[in-house]
């Protein structure tokens, strides 16, 4: 069945701006603790920011790629290259003056590289909104001033004991839901222990990052057993393209299936929902190519009664600010991977996001409401892609 046409969300108009400069700013930021998923172990972020000068304002966006193409096919060196050689030249091919809403259209001829294009969309929009003195959250139609904070807990080096200690600590801090990473061999025993520790009422979900093989009986047996634990959702058990397998097992399991890596755009979301492969969608603005596409997915899910939430990619305050604005929009009904800065970094690049009563405040300033502090970018690698 063809997906019904899902209209483009209409955002308020903004005056066109003239791009004066575009620069890549790349800096490494250590994580406070290693973050291990089924696809690898990260101890730092290789952060790639885009800085845009337009209409007398500076806009920022964060490319949320991982350093290696293990979460999806994008990776940070590739994103820097495609921005330099394709996306930025294409953006200005018809002139440097453009409306912020025009960015996705101008980039339409280039296939994929959604994380790179999303960051460019946010940076141009941030500059345009700052020039107009408007908040991103208001521009997107945010309905709340704070968003509930979940936390994503990696597979700890120290195994089950360390997992329980970390989760107890996060609950003490006030996090409202726990997402634990699983992989074959680290699934049933740790999640049983966690459920035992936190009790039946804590919002507990798991994320496999596509590590399970639907053709492997032992993998399926582990997932079947997890189904007894009252999990809020099972995120992306199988590979991104295994929609039919997700649907087949979703029909057997009580635990709702949430898709992350499978969803690249609104068509994927509608298709997965209509085939019964997803009960919940994780929206990451980078993974789907930007804010406009995120809202399109939100709208399609809302029309079909499917809850969505805002996923994370270990963003610094730049990317987090955009995530929090998105998470504050109508339809984002489940807590996201919107944790406080100190869950990731000893010192964030921006003023930190702070957990208050289990929530993060939506930034109050214009644009995304955060800027990287100059002193934290000392030593960053800078590449100018467009000069005045
Ligand atoms: O930002 O707190 C965060 C991380 C959330 O677990 C998280 N993201 O598949 O959902 C996911 C993972 C991918 C992270 S890889 C950098
Ligand atoms: Mg995920």
Is position 284 annotated as part of the catalytic site?
Answer: yes
**CA-CA distance, 370 to 130, in Å (whole number)?**
11
Which position among 181, 279, 320, 370 bears the catalytic label? 181
Q: Whose CA is nearest to atom 16 of ligand 1?
A: 313
pLDDT in tens, 103-149: 999 999 999 999 999 999 999 999 999 999 999 999 999 999 999 99
What confidence score (pLDDT) does residue 185 get? 97
Q: Which of 33, 34, 35, 37 to mutate to test the pocket of ligand 1 (most atoms within 8 A of CB)?
A: 37
Q: Which residues line ligand 1 (CB under 6 A)?
A: 37, 66, 71, 152, 207, 209, 260, 311-314, 337, 339
Residue 181's alpha-carbon distances to 35, 59, 156, 173, 189, in angstroms, are 10, 34, 9, 20, 13
Q: Does residue 2 surpass a pLDDT of 80?
A: no
pLDDT in tens, 170-188: 999 999 999 999 999 999 9
Residues within 5 Å of ion ligand 2, judged at the Cβ atom: 207, 235, 260
Segment holding 78, helix H or strand E: helix 76-82
Q: Does residue 29 surpass a pLDDT of 90?
A: yes
Segment holding 298, helix H or strand E: helix 291-303
- For residue 261, report the distance from its CA to the centre of ligand 1, in Å: 11
Tell me the average pLDDT across 148-156. Answer: 98
pTM of the predicted protein model: 0.97
- For residue 236, report the distance from its CA to the centre of ligand 2, in Å: 6
- For residue 208, report the distance from its CA to the centre of ligand 2, in Å: 7
Q: Is 3.30.1360.120 the CATH number for 17-133+374-386?
A: no
Task: Pick the atom of ligand 1 nearest to 154's CA.
Answer: 6
Angle at 348 between CA 263 and CA 343, to 5 degrees: 65
pLDDT range class, residue 7, cuts 50, 70, 90 = confident
pLDDT range class, residue 11, cuts 50, 70, 90 = confident
- For residue 133, report the distance from its CA to the centre of ligand 2, in Å: 34
Q: Whose CA is nearest to atom 9 of ligand 1?
A: 209
Dig out the tokens for 13 from the structure. Answer: 């108009």
* Alpha-helix residue ranges (DSSP H) falling in 133-187: 136-140, 159-173
Domain ranges of the chain: 17-133+374-386, 138-361
Q: Which of 166, 314, 335, 344 to mutate to test the pocket of ligand 1 (most atoms within 8 A of CB)?
A: 314
- For residue 55, report the distance from its CA to the centre of ligand 1, in Å: 34
138-361: CATH topology: TIM Barrel (3.20.20)
**CA-CA distance, 253 to 225, in Å (whole number)?**
10
A 10 A CB-CB count for 381 gives: 12
Q: Which of 208, 287, 311, 348 to mutate to test the pocket of ligand 1 (most atoms within 8 A of CB)?
A: 311
The set of residues, in sequence order, having a beta carbon less than 8 Å from that of 374 and lying 6+ positions away, is none
Q: Whose CA is nearest to atom 5 of ligand 1?
A: 312
What confidence score (pLDDT) does residue 358 get? 98
Q: Are 180 and 204 in contact (CB under 8 A)?
A: yes
pLDDT in tens, 35-82: 999 999 999 999 999 999 999 999 999 999 999 999 999 999 999 999
């Amino acid at each position: 069945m063809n997906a019904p046409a899902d209209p483009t969300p209409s955002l308020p108009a903004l005056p066109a701006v003239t791009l004066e400069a575009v620069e890549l700013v790349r800096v490494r930021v250590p994580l406070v603790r290693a973050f291990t998923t089924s696809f690898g172990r990260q101890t730092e972020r290789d952060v790639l920011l885009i800085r845009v000068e337009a209409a007398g304002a500076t806009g920022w966006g964060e490319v949320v790629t991982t350093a290696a193409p293990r979460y999806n096919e994008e990776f940070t060196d590739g994103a820097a290259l495609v921005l330099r050689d394709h996306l930025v030249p294409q953006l200005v091919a018809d002139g440097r003056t453009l409306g912020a809403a025009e960015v996705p259209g101008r980039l339409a001829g280039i296939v994929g590289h959604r994380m790179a294009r999303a960051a460019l969309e946010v940076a141009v929009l941030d500059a345009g909104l700052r020039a107009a003195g408007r908040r991103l959250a208001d521009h997107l139609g945010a309905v709340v001033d704070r968003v509930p904070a979940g936390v994503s807990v990696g597979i700890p080096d120290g195994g089950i004991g360390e997992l329980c200690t970390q989760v107890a600590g996060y609950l003490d801090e006030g996090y409202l839901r726990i997402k634990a990473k699983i992989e074959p061999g680290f699934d049933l025993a740790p999640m049983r222990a966690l459920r035992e520790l936190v009790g039946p009422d804590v919002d507990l979900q798991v994320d496999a990052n596509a590590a399970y093989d639907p053709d492997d009986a032992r993998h399926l047996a582990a997932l079947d057993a997890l189904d007894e634990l009252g999990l809020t959702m099972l995120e992306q058990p199988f590979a991104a393209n295994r929609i039919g397998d997700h649907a087949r097992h979703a029909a057997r399991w009580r635990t709702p299936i949430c898709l992350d890596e499978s969803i690249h755009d609104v068509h994927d979301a509608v298709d997965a929902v209509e085939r019964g492969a997803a009960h919940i969608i994780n929206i990451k603005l980078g993974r789907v190519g930007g804010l406009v596409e995120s809202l399109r997915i939100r709208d399609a899910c809302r029309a079909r009664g499917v809850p969505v939430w805002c996923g994370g990619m270990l963003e610094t305050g730049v990317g987090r600010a955009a995530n929090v604005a998105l998470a504050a929009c109508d339809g984002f009904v489940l807590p996201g991977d919107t944790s406080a800065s100190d869950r990731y970094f000893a010192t964030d690049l921006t003023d930190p996001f702070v957990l208050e009563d289990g929530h993060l405040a939506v930034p109050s300033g214009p644009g995304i409401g955060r800027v990287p502090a100059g002193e934290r970018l000392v030593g960053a690698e800078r590449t100018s892609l467009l000069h005045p």
